[in-house]
Structure 1
């Protein structure tokens, strides 16, 4: 599959970003190629296009499948496996967030909950326990918020994100409505 210079730049950039996101450069580049490909590709096409070894492509595809970012597709009359990325960017975002949570946040929550079951044996441990409790509360609040946001339809989520800083103004206004008004009579 011949690549335009723009496609090459996109693929190379995703390779660089992949290493920052915790996957290797090869995985990032394979994902980028599948994301922009007009049709599903088989592993040999990917290897040839990116000039990677077939074994690197196979390992990269397995990694991307474990992240649920790439799925297998088949063609009638062809025994090879073809691969394609998820097409909807909102679905990609949702899957990425779910996987990051499953791989990084959930184990941290489990560890914190287990550690907070233990009684502190010293003042230092009590202080550390308080900080761990604060961290647990923040992560639980964040994950509860994420669960709520995840249930929103993509259109609603887009509108919410477009509101940006205006959400803060609405919340400030709502807070002013709830707060008691000072009376005009000094006591």
Structure 2
């Protein structure tokens, strides 16, 4: 598949951003490609379009599937696997936030709870105890808020985020 210049630029940029987000460049480029073309593609089509090795595509697809960002589908009469991703950017963002929570924040909450429950913690200096407790409270508050936001529809979430700092007026 030949990409239009705008599509190509988006995919290349998304790959660069993927690196900054801790995701392999090819993983991010494949996700961007599937998002933009919004049709199922098989691994060979992805290889040809992006000019990457088949093994790289296979590994990247597996990673995207583990992140719940790519699904496998089939086409009648074709034995190959085809891959798709969601078309709603808000829903994709929710999946990314949920996955990052599970991989990054949930283990931190568990660790902090275990740390605070340990006998060694009670022997620790009061300032260190306070900072660890504050960290735990912060992470719990942040993840609690994120969990509630993820329950909202894309439309409602969009409206809330567009409110930005003007939401302060409701708190006064």
TM-score, normalised by the number of residues in structure 1: 0.87
How far the C-alpha of 1:38 sits from its partner, in A, is 3.7
SS at match of 2:74: strand
* Runs of at least 4 residues off by over 4 Å: none
CA distance in 2, matches of 1:98, 1:110: 16
TM-score, normalised by the number of residues in structure 2: 0.94
Q: Which has the larger radius of gyration?
A: 1
CA distance in 2, matches of 1:87, 1:118: 46
SS at match of 1:164: helix
CA distance in 1, matches of 2:122, 2:170: 46
SS at match of 2:82: strand
- Paired residues for 1:1-187 under 5 Å: 1-119=1-119, 120=121, 122-124=123-125, 126-172=126-172
Task: Quickly say closer, same or farther: Cα 1:71–1:160, change in 2 above 3 A.
Answer: same
Query: What runs of 5+ residues in structure 1 fail to find an aligned partner?
Result: 173-187
Higher RCO by CA contacts (8 Å cutoff, separation 6 or greater): 2
CA distance in 1, matches of 2:57, 2:77: 23
Aligned-pair RMSD on alpha carbons? 1.3
Conserved 8 A contact 2:38-2:87: no
SS at match of 1:52: coil
Query: What runs of 5+ residues in structure 2 fail to find an aligned partner?
Result: none
Task: Quickly say closer, same or farther: Cα 1:14–1:121, change in 2 above 3 A.
Answer: same
Conserved 8 A contact 2:38-2:85: no
Q: Deviations over 1:39-93 (max 9, x none)?
A: 1100000001111110000000000000001111110000000001111111101
CA distance in 2, matches of 1:146, 1:95: 12
Q: Deviations over 1:119-150 (max 9, x none)?
A: 336554x4322211100001111111112212
